Homo-oligomer: A and B are copies of this chain.
Amino acid sequence: MATASAPHQTVRRPGGRSARVRAAVHQAVKEMLAEDTGDQLTIPAVATRAGVHPTTVYRRWGSVGDLLTDVATSRFSGDLVVPDSGSLREDLERYAADLARDLSDPDTLALVRAIVGAAGENADVCRAERQDQLEAILDREHARGNKQAPTVERAVDGLLAPLYYRAVFTSQTPTPEWARSLVAHLFPE
């Protein structure tokens, strides 16, 4: 029922406006990163692009670092599938190849770089779920009694680290073939 205090209100689920603002602001951030104009991302510029008032953005996210952290958290959640082929080596090869494909996408890489620059330790969000998933693959294997399964630390140093390093610090593309080749080094000959 429309009331005098909210004459223009249309029927929407609770939180609808808040969710729309978030979607518009996230979309603006992604577009600005993809355009790669060389300009720095600022909250007023994001607000203008999203069609919302800068105060709304400041009130909700506080800083560019916090905003990018929120964008990255939703971008890097649930996007990769944890494989379970029955073979640990095959699962690790698939997982590494999927991550290589993801990190060679220019838009993904732009977001990773922006968050490293703006959010310091929050850059963790770019890889926290990947590490959890790697851990799940290895834990499952340890539970199956596979004594050859590497430790999580070895797998992080030997798979995640070269993938992110090559993507972020070099001009080489992390290819799926190269990513798969990293897995061999985790298993003693």
Contact = CB atoms under 8 A, between A and B. Distances in A.
A165 B158 contact: no
A9 to B, nearest CB: 37
A100 interface: no
Interface residues of A, number: 38
A113 B119 CA distance: 9
Copies of this chain in its oligomeric complex? 2
Given A157-B158, A158-B185, 11 more contacts: A36-B120, A40-B40, A110-B120, A117-B117, A124-B171, A127-B170, A157-B182, A160-B165, A161-B162, A161-B165, A188-B189
A35 interface: no
Nearest to A114: B117
A38 interface: yes
B169 A164 contact: yes
18 contacts: A38-B63, A38-B65, A113-B116, A113-B120, A114-B117, A116-B168, A123-B168, A124-B170, A124-B171, A156-B162, A157-B158, A157-B162, A157-B185, A160-B165, A161-B161, A161-B164, A164-B165, A168-B168
Contacts of A116: 113, 116-117, 168-169
Contacts of A120: 36, 110, 113
Contacts of A123: 113, 168-169
